[in-house]
Structure 1
Amino acid sequence: MKVLVPVKRVIDYNVKVRVKADGSGVDLDNVKMSMNPFDEIAVEEAIRLKEAGTASEVVVVSIGVAKAQETLRTALAMGADRAILITAADDVHTDIEPLSVAKLLKSVIDEEAPELVIAGKQAIDNDMNATGQMLAALLGWSQATFANEVKIEDGAALVTREVDGGLQSIKVKLPAIVTTDLRLNEPRYASLPNIMKAKKKPLETKTPEDYGIDVTPRLQVVKTAEPETRQAGEIVGSVDELVAKLKEKGIV
């Protein structure tokens, strides 16, 4: 069984994001970039399926700027077998929208014919949480989102997923799309020998034109701003004073 994993290059989750002075976007100059944490979990899960003998090959795909090669090499160092980079933007500030990403991934899937796609539930830069669902719709495949446990048995995926009320266990027929949540696993660190080996693993480069997909943005960012500073709290001496304060602020 072949497993395909989409990965995205984002600002490292340890970095404090800075908004540009003119409000036109986020400042990316000299900022550390890394693999989206949810995608890292997806890569780890795919590798574990291969180590268990369930999967025969793990292919990783990234869509964005040429520097996303670094992200793909990280996935290869973790244990993925080969990578595909679709260079869809020249400017690091250009974010390819979920529908365009889903269309490109569908084209890759049509060529690669995987039985399972494991993707991060969302990217931490735009928090769209839409690509996996859109991809499932375009393919007409089963989908299991927000997975915190995945098992493959008898041509189906048994997925325990996180929902508002707790956990839900479902069974979806393969081929399927699974999106990962934080508690699915703990991603491994790539060892130095594996990092060196990753440099020799196949990495194919393509463009949206190769698939006949238009990635022109449909959305426009009008303004980006820092969150408002939270005001300090007030200490009250009694319940009556608390109620009075709440009424004063129009909360009750």
Structure 2
Amino acid sequence: MEANEISLDLEYEKRDENGKLEYEGISFVEDKFPAFLKQTISPIYKDEDYNAQMKEVAIDMTGFDSENLQAVFDTMPKVSNFRIGELVAEKIVESRYSAKFTYNSDRDLKNPNSNNTGADLVGFIEMEDGAVNFLFGEVKTSEEHTNPPGVMYGSTGMIDQLVELGTNSDKLKSLVKWIFIKCNSDKDLLVQKYIREAMQHYVKDRSSIQLIGVLVRDTNPNEMDLKNRYIDLKKRINGQHNVQLLAVYSNYKMKDGAWEKLI
């Protein structure tokens, strides 16, 4: 079941005077989220296809049988709500905004219980005019009942992190370099097209990068989750990049490890 097969309801949205989307809130139709986690997110979390490929490579290289290597390639990052939220955000952003994420960054973890640094979302996006740009973003997952939740504030909150992404040229350069290295050897012609076009646009115009912040919640939809936070973000970015916020409401509580159990 892919994200674009999931029924999503638009709860609220805000567009500028030219009709360009600034932020929106969407929710899963009731009872659809658990199946989405099981059928779409769980295989990605476990990186099943990649691990199967790497196990076959290891068998060819070492001569060991599959049973001897199973325990090694079954290793996966610790299941957590924040990582589930990141993968949910990836799939929704891909299906809703013509974006593409080509590499599972968990493969770079030397410690499966550690966290990735840099940015939560690193990929590409096709704009309305057909141009392909780099897409970088931050994801926050919360079960707080305040609107907006605390994860939107402070130095570790979404808005400050997006501002840091948008104003720290060295950080942006590192992200561009990272994604170029990861995608450069990809044999997928579409991925090659994305990296080529995005790099061309970036070299010509550093402001071509699209920034997005995604809030994943298990509470009722509320526009106050994004409204004032977007005003603050837009003012602080000051036109340096395209910015957008998205709130995803699961309609399924994460209490007592309910989300983790589905992975």
| TM-score of the superposed pair, with normalisation by structure 1 | 0.27
| Rg larger for | 1
Comparing both structures, which one devotes a greater share of its residues to strand?
1
| TM-score of the superposed pair, with normalisation by structure 2 | 0.26
Comparing both structures, which one devotes a greater share of its residues to helix?
2
